[in-house]
Amino acid sequence: MLASLLSTSLLGIDAQPLFGPRTGVFRYLKTLLDEWLTGPSAASMRLFAFQFLRDCALPGDDGWTGYDLRCVRRFPGRFYFKLLQVQLAFPLDFGCDSYFFPNFVGYPVRRGRTFVTVHDLAYLRFPQFTEWKNLLYLRMALPAALRRADRIVAVSQTTANDVEEFFGMGEKVTVIPTSVSPVFFERPHAEGPPTPTLPHKGGGGLSELGLERPFLLCVGTIEPRKNLDGVIRAFTSLAHELGDSTDLVIAGGRGWRDASFHRALAQSSARARIRVLRGLSDTTLVALYHRAVALIAASHYEGFGIPLVEAMACGCPVLATNVSSFPEVAGDAALLVPPGDDQALAAGMLRMLQEPALRSELIRKGTLRAERYRPGPIARQLLDLLRAG
């Protein structure tokens, strides 16, 4: 293990996701680099990205040291990505022995082994939920990128099965799950595990957000695959029963094809009790998880499900749809309901609000389940794969 970490071979890492929005891929790569670039392995790593006519500096590197950074500034990344789509991209050479591409599509390189991470194949399972530009890009670029790759990293067995089903490349796949930042494993109080009772009013570092009542929480980009409009409908159906006792908080950045979300939000009779929060720091997100009655994850499909692990690590019980990777990630540490069933989702919300024994059991199981997603061991496992080839 130590020998692989201290290997003198040079590992190239595609850092392009760090220059974009804080999506799941951003969080995936940043959590890995927080482990790799704060130890001895950083000296044998070279990050690269397209930064056309801009400064070659990583945004907020959080104390990363010892690594090398190379930027392509001669032409725009958009130009190269267009060439990737039509299979005309010329090979790049950053002088590395192997390359890690964390965002689906790897570039052709002059020499060295290549590894790509596939997070999901939603664009094939549910093309109607995918942004059209991304749909076109993945349809044209991903098959060739997977053929070029020496190894494919799948973040779940669900995604690995999809790679085999759609591309017949199961023999190239290694399953290594996504991890979450250590900040989600920190306990706000030293006296013990989270309480199963409903969170009290105020406190938790959220007073500036005006969250005074208990609330149900959703975390994720506002896009149709997350089924946030279904969450709104389910919550709205409980308006008479809940009165003004409970809020719904949706913490998510702007996505795509969000008309149904905004329509459901505008039509909801509980609109005054629904909060949409954007641009949150991890510190604020942790506070939300600790204060929430439960996390509501109602997606139609996910390749992994980072919010499930974040919530479990924070001692927040999880209500999720019984679909794709969610049962694999959460195991028996979540209350699962059928996908696309607003009534079942509303019933699950009520159980979370009214059954402290259920919340207590899910908190206990979730805290234990989250341990398998700590970043240190997962980062080491992935680095061993990248070094060994």
Q: How confident is the model at residue 198 (pLDDT cuts 50, 70, 90)?
A: low
CA distance 90 to 82: 11
Same domain? 349 vs 228: yes
Number of domains in the chain: 2
- Return the pLDDT at 51: 84
List pLDDT tens digits, range 376-386.
999 999 999 99
Same domain? 319 vs 198: yes
- Return the pLDDT at 344: 98
pTM over 0.85: yes
Same domain? 246 vs 170: no
Instruction: List CB contacts of 333: < 8 A, sequence separation 6 or more.
Output: 312, 318, 362, 365, 366, 368, 369
Whether 45 has a pLDDT exceeding 90, the answer reads: yes
Same domain? 230 vs 358: yes
Same domain? 175 vs 199: no
- Return the pLDDT at 184: 97
Domain holding 254, by residue range, is 182-372
List pLDDT tens digits, range 278-305.
988 899 999 999 999 999 999 999 999 9
3-state DSSP helix/strand/coil percent for the chain, to nearest 5?
Answer: 45, 15, 40
CA distance 178 to 375: 8
Q: Tokens for 207, please give them.
A: 């007073």
CATH of the domain at 125: 3.40.50.2000
Whether 267 has a pLDDT exceeding 60, the answer reads: yes
Same domain? 114 vs 190: no
Same domain? 267 vs 337: yes
Lowest mean pLDDT among 111-125, 188-202, 308-322, 375-389: 188-202
Whether 34 has a pLDDT exceeding 90, the answer reads: yes
* Distance set, CA 57 to CA 16, 44, 49 (Å): 12, 18, 10
Same domain? 172 vs 188: no
Task: Give me the chain's average pLDDT, please.
Answer: 90
Instruction: List CB contacts of 45: < 8 A, sequence separation 6 or more.
Output: 10, 11, 12, 13, 36, 37, 67, 68
Length of the chain: 389
- Return the pLDDT at 61: 64
CA distance 78 to 89: 12
